[in-house]
């Protein structure tokens, strides 16, 4: 009563669990992150602060810094006013509003350690607070450095996968193919790829989520200089053998690709993943060739062709 | 005369030594650190300064920085007073106490490089000292940055293990189980786990500390997206076969779990360990299921259920 | 119709593609980077900014920083002038040109957080801008730190390969040889080397680019303390067996060497590559010996001899 | 005519070369660095600057920073004087010497970005130079940060080897032993050790330097919590079988130990090496036991006993 033929049984849920999925539910999002919601703990128990600050987008990161800077300076401005604005020598504000801003700008000059000195602290308590604030500025530098460096140096791959998979002719049969390029100038070396398929399947009368590896014609290359087309030949052994698009839809098929490589510039191993659902698979199409040799003895790789497919027919 | 059956002999003390333990002595603490005291060397020979500063708690770390800042400024304040407070142009203190604090705040403004300038150094020696102190400030920035970054970027795992192990029904027999989740949003990939048991045992009339691996039904998963329950099936081959709680207590049993994984966000391998003693094992209990699929096509993982067990009976 | 004998068939293009090359086209440049041009994407889609800043030469890197510093200060100077130069207390410029430079130097003192204070901001908008600029300075520090550290700590190898390969006598036959040294004092350990040859070849009437491994007499050493000579023995099985220089030229032969090692000082794996074309191969030559034991019980390694060859004849 | 029996032939010089050594020449120094002198290149070709700054001792490192700080400030002081000391507003020096120091301290206040402002730049050229110097200060911060962090975070092991090897009774025969401990609190895991012996040997009438592995009774442990004694059993197969101290001396024997481990705190692989010569081997001695269990349920490891040996006799 199994949906697919399977000569290659795969007794492994890869860590995703074997509960069957609801309509169109993905195991992986297209960016390769697991499609999971986490609950049951207070937010501060999830230890994600550094990870979040490092992985959030640049505009959002700068907003967080700017807002923190405003809040901290506001708090110190209030504190300097409570202690007494007369302790800020050179502050000329008369109204409460002006006095707040005098203290606010003094605070900014202190925490950034710019310290022009046209406003300067007098009296014991104000001097202590200013000394403390400049130490805080020192740590703020350090923090910002750590975060920025963490963001920069994170060994992210910029491997770009084609948006679609194709089912194209391959060695008198057909093959399921996708392709990929490296958006960075870094060489990627010792690249290894695995392809898996997951779908709902009834086993012993129980609906389960099954996982099968899709054998690749070639799963490892030494250097990723050009584009690389991954080919799963649809042989008798393939779980895709003689399946129709309709059957794939019903079984909520998802194909995912896991890539591991060594980044030569930063000497670190990177991982990346992507996933395709039934609507991402183009039948009877093939990829256009992406690279050629030019006159000046260079190989030219045209990235704009990555997703470009041509119609073809499988004999 | 061996205490446990053992078809799986394990001739290896894993590096913990084979001396039998005294009552309730742990090999590993629950946080996975070895339960060892080190003596015989002067403290400065143990090269732990950086490690300590990087691994201590945040409140303690900030206390260390604050106290260092106070001490350094006090020392410089004393030095400026010895050289002569009249060399600090703009310092208005009359009493010794005020002169000390003038010098103290000048020092703070110098080492943090805020340098308002309402107090400024005059004369050769004071100027030299101030120039030296600002260079020290520069290095202090650098140090703080290094330490903060070291603290942030350390590839710590936040894998959380269940507080208890259970002995639950498993495939017509029973199994020793614990489970784990990832408290971070980072994906952990290629996770490998080993489980060991250690206990006092009399071999050839000599009491020894023995170590046995506990075979796991599955010791490796590709991605840790959900919770993972480790199962050691208690078969005839298991050193736990037909043992009672009482026997475990007498032998000072300790079970420990060693986990190794690859952190996808920081591209680093992490290790974590935990250990359970006899009182941490619940008999005739099973874990409650932690995840389910919700209506919006997401898998929901409820962390609050990690330690939740249900009574069960082993037929 | 194959050009070379091949007992060692190698069904692998290593990721470089199998299109035959045009005259003198290299697969790898001599510095080991792939000889590829990338097109088809807008420049900002190639995510190379950090990689470029980290890998560019030092003079160019400092030029980029200097020019950025000038541009940013110019922009702020213009902004301060638009808001009104009278808000910069202490600025004495009368002419427009002098007013611009007053603002420019104030900006430089603010962004570098030096803040002498002889010019200081007055009025709300100017104070806000100055506070913002000093925060920017804080981030600029952080950025510069990240980049400089990224440049320094990048695990680059300084393995130097001999400029030429030689074909020298080797065990009653001949061998293709090149040699290498480590320009750093770091120990390199567990060094592994692979040698490949690529050339145009007509297979089934189609001109293809083929890749063959060249077996090395020894492909792995534990420590690279001295120089290391790589030897490919030209046996019957070698694709180079009984080939003439002329045949190599016609086939557009390129030999490349891939090295992988563990850098002991930084605990990181490094990779390096080089490539030789037909004109880089010296026939009937051998390398001069580079190291000897001196009187003081040291081994002396003379780097100036790296490329030094001596004429020899292959019997 | 071989000096030693060898059932375990080892056709490998490990990368140290096979030239026989002169009297007492070491292959490795006791700290594990290769005993090699490098010549033949101008000093700037050896790319060791960063490595040197990172690996030099702390006092020397601070001297380098201090001297650089003095030199840079002196150069700027000279430049400010050449441009004209009258452009430093607030500098009160009359004599040349005082004018130099005014400029020197102004420079120090600028490069460290402390900028009190009691001396401030006037005029175009002086202002440009000061703006440039403060930018340099910014980069100096960055540099110092990178270097300090590089020094701190370098994954150095602090494994301490016993100063002596012993030849002690072992399983009815004898064994060559040394031992080691970890001076850091970090756990070292997956520790692997190899032991080699090298000596001068006449093969086919030619004096050569040979390398043989010494088989260890156990070459891998999971965790280095306690001390670890490495044992090479001197069986019939050992190159040390029935050798006398005298024979070892003549052959210029050197034993070296190569250790590889994973540092759990920093998630990095570390390597360390040591070497013993004939005079470092104690005959008929054994190591004293270093650890015991105390009353409070802790294992106590007494580091002062690391080198402690007791006389014994080999039956």
**pLDDT surpasses 60 at B177:** yes
Q: How confident is the model at residue C232 (pLDDT cuts 50, 70, 90)?
A: very high
Residue B52 has pLDDT above 90, yes or no: no
> In chain D, what are the domain boundaries?
43-153, 159-311
Burial B250-265 (b: 16+ CB within 10 A, else e): ebbbbbbbbbbbbbbb
What size, in residues, is chain D? 315
pLDDT band for C234, please (50, 70, 90 cuts): very high
List CB contacts (< 8 A) between A299 and chain C.
17, 19, 25, 34-37
Residues D223-234: pLDDT tens digits? 787 889 999 999
Q: With cut-offs at 50, 70 and 90, classify the pLDDT of residue B6.
A: very low
For chain D, the DSSP string reads --SS--SS-----TTS--PPPPTT--SB-TTS-B-EEEESS-GGGS--HHHHHHHS-HHHHHHHHHHHHHHHHHHHHHHHHHH-GGGEET----SHHHHHHHHHHHHHHHHTT---SSSEE-SHHHHHHHHHHHHHHHHHHHHHHHHHHHHHHS----EEE-S-EEEEEETTEEEEEEEEEE-SSSPEEEEEEEEEEEEEEEETTEEEEEEEE---S--EEEEE-S-EEEEEE--TTSTTTT--HHHHHHTT-EEEEEEEEEETTTTEEEEEEEEEEGGGEEESEEEPP-EEE-TTS-EEEEGGGTT-EEE----
Distance from CA of C221 to the nearest CA of D (A): 5
Rg (CA), chain D: 29
- Could you write out the DSSP letters of every residue in D81-122? HHH-GGGEET----SHHHHHHHHHHHHHHHHTT---SSSEE-
Which of C104, C105, C116 to mutate against chain D (most D CBs within 10 Å)? C116
CA distance A11 to chain B (A): 11
The pLDDT value recorded for residue D46 is 61
Rounded average pLDDT over A165-177: 90
Q: What is the DSSP letter of A296?
A: T
Neighbours of chain A (3+ CB pairs under 8 A): B, C, D
CA angle (D310, D313, D315) in 5-degree steps:
150
Enumerate the residues of chain C whose CB falls inside 8 A of the CB of residue D125. none
Lowest mean pLDDT, pick from A222-236, B44-58, C272-286:
B44-58
Confidence of residue A102 (pLDDT cuts 50, 70, 90): very high
**How would residue C101 be classed by pLDDT, with cut points 50, 70 and 90?**
very high
Burial of C1 (0-12, 13-18, 19+ CB in 10 A): exposed
Instruction: Choose among A36, A121, A149: nearest Cβ to B301.
Output: A36
**Between these two residues, B41 and B255, which has the higher pLDDT value?**
B255
Checking if the pLDDT of B1 tops 50, the result is no
Chain C residues touching residue A101 (CB < 8 angstroms): 124, 127
Instruction: With H, G, I as helix, E, B as strand and everything else as coil, classify residue B198.
Output: strand
- Contact assessment for residue C179 and residue C227, using Cβ atoms and an 8 Å cutoff: yes
Average pLDDT over residues A31-60: 75
In 3-state terms, what secondary structure has residue A307?
Answer: coil
Q: Say what the pLDDT of residue A182 is.
A: 86
Q: Would you place residue D8 in the very low, low, confident or very high pLDDT band (cuts 50, 70, 90)?
A: very low
Q: What is the pLDDT at residue B11?
A: 45
Q: What CATH architecture applies to the domain B159-311?
A: Sandwich (2.60)
Q: Per-residue pLDDT for B190 more than 70?
A: yes
Please say if the pLDDT value at position B99 is more than 90.
yes
Residue in A45, A146, A155 nearest the CB of B148: A146
D40 by Cβ neighbours in 10 Å (0-12 / 13-18 / 19+) ranks as middle
Q: Do D108 and B121 touch (CB under 8 A)?
A: no
For the stretch A261-279, pLDDT in tens is 888 777 777 888 888 988 8
The answer regarding whether domain D43-153 maps to CATH 3.40.462.40 reads: no
Average pLDDT over residues B111-134: 92
- Please indicate whether residue C192 or residue C12 has the higher confidence score (pLDDT): C192
Distance (Å, rounded) from C-alpha D303 to C-alpha D184? 12
Residue D46's Cβ-side half-sphere holds a number of Cα atoms within 13 Å equal to 18
d(C-alpha C79, C-alpha C129), whole Å: 9
Nearest to B145 among C113, C115, C145 (CB): C145
The pair of three-digit structure tokens given for residue C296, joined into one six-digit string: 């003081």
Q: Which of A112, A152, A222 sits opposite C134 (nearest CB)?
A: A112
Residue D58: the pLDDT is 86
Q: Return d(Cα B277, Cα B208) in angstroms, integer.
A: 18
Interface test mutation site (partner C, options B117, B120, B143, B269, max chain C beta carbons within 10 A): B117
DSSP code for B96: H
pLDDT grade for C230, boundaries at 50, 70 and 90: very high
Flag if A117 and D113 touch (Cβ within 8 Å): no
ipTM of the complex as predicted: 0.72
Residue D24 has pLDDT above 70, yes or no: no
Residue A100 is predicted with a pLDDT of 95
| Chain C interface test: which of A112, A136, A146, A162 (most C C-beta within 10 Å) | A112
For residue range D207-254, list pLDDT tens digits in order. 877 888 899 988 888 778 788 999 999 998 888 888 888 888 888 888
- Pick from C211, C207, C176: nearest CA to C283: C176
Nearest-CA distance from A169 to chain B in Å?
A: 31
B158-162, D81-85, D200-204, range with the lowest pLDDT: D200-204
d(CA C140, CA C111): 8
Helices (H), chain C: 49-55, 58-83, 96-111, 124-153, 245-250
CA distance C86 to chain B (A): 22
CATH fold for domain A47-153: Helix Hairpins (1.10.287)
Among C108, C164, C159, residue whose Cα is nearest residue C261: C159
* Confidence band for C15, pLDDT divided at 50, 70 and 90: low
Residues of A in contact with B304 (CB under 8 A): 39-41
Does the CA dihedral D115-D120-D121-D123 come out positive or negative? positive
Range in A38-47, A302-311, C124-133 with the lowest mean pLDDT: A38-47
Determine, for residues B51 and D184 on separate chains, whether the beta-carbon distance falls below 8 Å.
yes
Would the CB atoms of B223 and A16 count as touching at under 8 Å? yes
In this prediction, residue B33 carries a pLDDT of 73
Q: Which two tokens stand for residue B297?
A: 């096509």
Section D150-161 average pLDDT:
75
Cβ-nearest to A293 among C21, C141, C269: C21
For C240-279, the pLDDT digits (tens) are 888 888 888 888 888 989 898 888 777 777 888 888 988 8
Q: Do domains C47-153 and C159-311 have the same CATH topology?
A: no
A299-308, C27-36, D127-136, D273-282 — which is least confidently predicted? Answer: C27-36
Using pLDDT thresholds of 50, 70 and 90, give the confidence band for residue B207. confident
Nearest to C167 by CA among C238, C98, C221: C238
Query: What is the average per-residue pLDDT within D49-54?
Result: 79
What is the side-by-side order of every strand in the sheet holding C299-302? C291-293, C299-302, D36-39
In the prediction, which pLDDT does A129 show?
A: 95
Q: Please name the member of C14, C117, C270 whose beta carbon is closest to the beta carbon of A221.
A: C14
Measure in Å the smallest separation between the Cα of C28 and chain A Cα atoms: 10
A180, A159 contact by CB (below 8 A): yes
Taking phi over 0 as left and psi of -120 to 50 as alpha, with beta for the rest, D77 belongs to: alpha
Closest CA of chain B from D42, distance in Å: 32
Chain C neighbors of A191, CB-CB under 8 A: 15
pLDDT digit string (tens) for B223-277? Answer: 787 889 999 999 988 888 888 888 888 888 889 898 988 887 777 778 888 889 8
d(CA D177, CA D243): 16
- Chain C residues with beta carbon closer than 8 angstroms to that of B116: 117
Across the range A128-142, mean pLDDT stands at: 89
Instruction: Classify strands C88-89 and B285-287 as parallel, antiparallel or unpaired.
Output: unpaired
The chain-wide mean pLDDT, for chain C, equals: 83
DSSP state of B85: G
Supply the mean pLDDT for chain D.
83
CB of A229 closer than 8 Å to CB of A235: no
Q: What are phi and psi of A69, to 5 degrees?
A: -60, -45
For residue A314, the model assigns a pLDDT of: 58
What is the DSSP annotation of B13-48?
-TTS--PPPPTT--SB-TTS-B-EEEESS-GGGS--
CB contact under 8 A, B185 and A52: yes
**Per the CB < 8 Å rule, is A183 touching C135?**
no
Q: pLDDT for D28-44, tens place per residue?
A: 777 777 777 777 776 66
8 Å CB contact of A186 and C51: yes
Let me know: does C187 contact C265? Beta carbons within 8 Å.
yes
Indicate which of D114, D133, D191, D292 best probes the interface with B, i.e. most B CBs within 10 Å of its own CB. Answer: D114
How many CB pairs lie under 8 A apart between chains A and B?
186
Q: Which residue has the tokens 């694709």?
A: C239
Structure tokens at A210: 């099954």
- Which residue in chain A is spatially nearest to B296 when comparing CA positions? A25
Kindly report the CA angle at D213 between D210 and D217, in degrees rounded to 5?
A: 155
Specify the 3-state DSSP secondary structure of C29.
coil
pLDDT tens track for D112-154 = 999 998 999 999 999 999 999 999 988 887 888 788 877 876 6
- Residues D58, A203: Cα–Cα separation, whole Å: 67
Contact B169, B176 (CB under 8 A): no
The residue in chain A having the minimum alpha-carbon distance to the alpha carbon of residue B269 is A269
Contact between chains at D303 and B38 (C-beta distance less than 8 A):
yes
Identity of the residue in D34, D110, D121 whose CB atom sits nearest the CB atom of C187: D34
Nearest to C38 among A104, A141, A303 (CB): A303
Beta bridge partners of D260: D192, D271
| pLDDT at residue C5 greater than cutoff 90 | no
Q: Which residues contact A150 (CB under 8 A, 6 or more apart)?
A: A50, A53, A54, B149, B152, B153
Interface contact flag, B187 A143, Cβ < 8 Å: no
For the cut 80, the answer to whether the pLDDT of residue D265 exceeds it is no
Pair D188, D221: CB distance under 8 Å: no
Interface test with B, best of A24, A44, A87, A131 (most B CBs within 10 A): A131
How confident is the model over D59-112, as pLDDT tens digits? 999 999 999 999 999 999 999 999 999 999 988 889 999 999 999 999 999 999
Q: What is the pTM of this model?
A: 0.77
* Mean of per-residue pLDDT scores for chain A: 83
With pLDDT > 90 as the criterion, what percentage of chain B qualifies? Answer: 31
Q: CA gyration radius for chain B?
A: 29
Helix (H, G, I), strand (E, B) or coil at C40: coil
CB contact under 8 A, A22 and B291: no
């Amino acid at each position: 009563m199994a949906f697919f033929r399977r000569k290659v049984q795969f007794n492994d849920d890869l860590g995703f669990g074997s509960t069957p999925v609801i309509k169109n539910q993905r195991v992986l999002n297209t960016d390769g992150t697991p499609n999971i919601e986490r609950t049951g703990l207070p937010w501060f128990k999830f230890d994600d602060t550094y990870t979040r600050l490092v992985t959030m987008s640049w505009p959002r990161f700068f907003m967080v810094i700017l807002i923190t800077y405003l809040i901290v300076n506001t708090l110190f401005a209030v504190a300097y006013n409570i202690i007494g604005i007369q302790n800020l020598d050179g502050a000329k504000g008369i109204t409460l509003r002006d006095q707040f801003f005098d203290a606010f700008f003094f605070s900014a000059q202190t925490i950034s350690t710019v310290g022009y000195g046209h406003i300067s602290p007098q009296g014991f308590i104000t001097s202590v607070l200013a000394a403390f604030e400049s130490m805080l500025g020192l740590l703020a530098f350090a923090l910002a450095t750590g975060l920025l460096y963490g963001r920069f140096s994170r060994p992210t791959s910029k491997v770009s996968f084609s948006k679609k998979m194709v089912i194209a002719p391959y060695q008198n049969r057909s093959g399921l193919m996708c392709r990929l390029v490296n958006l960075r100038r870094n060489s990627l070396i010792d690249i290894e790829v695995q392809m898996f398929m997951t779908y709902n399947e009834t086993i012993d009368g129980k609906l389960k989520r099954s996982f099968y590896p899709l054998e690749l014609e070639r799963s490892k290359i030494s250097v990723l200089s050009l584009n690389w087309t991954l080919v799963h030949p649809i042989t008798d052994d393939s779980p895709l053998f003689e399946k129709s698009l309709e059957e794939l839809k019903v079984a909520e098929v998802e194909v995912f690709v896991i890539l591991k490589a060594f980044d030569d510039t930063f000497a670190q191993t990177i991982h990346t993943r992507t996933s395709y659902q039934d609507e991402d698979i183009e039948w009877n199409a093939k990829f256009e060739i992406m690279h050629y040799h030019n006159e000046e003895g260079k190989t030219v790789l045209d990235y704009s062709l990555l997703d470009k497919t041509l119609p073809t027919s499988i004999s």
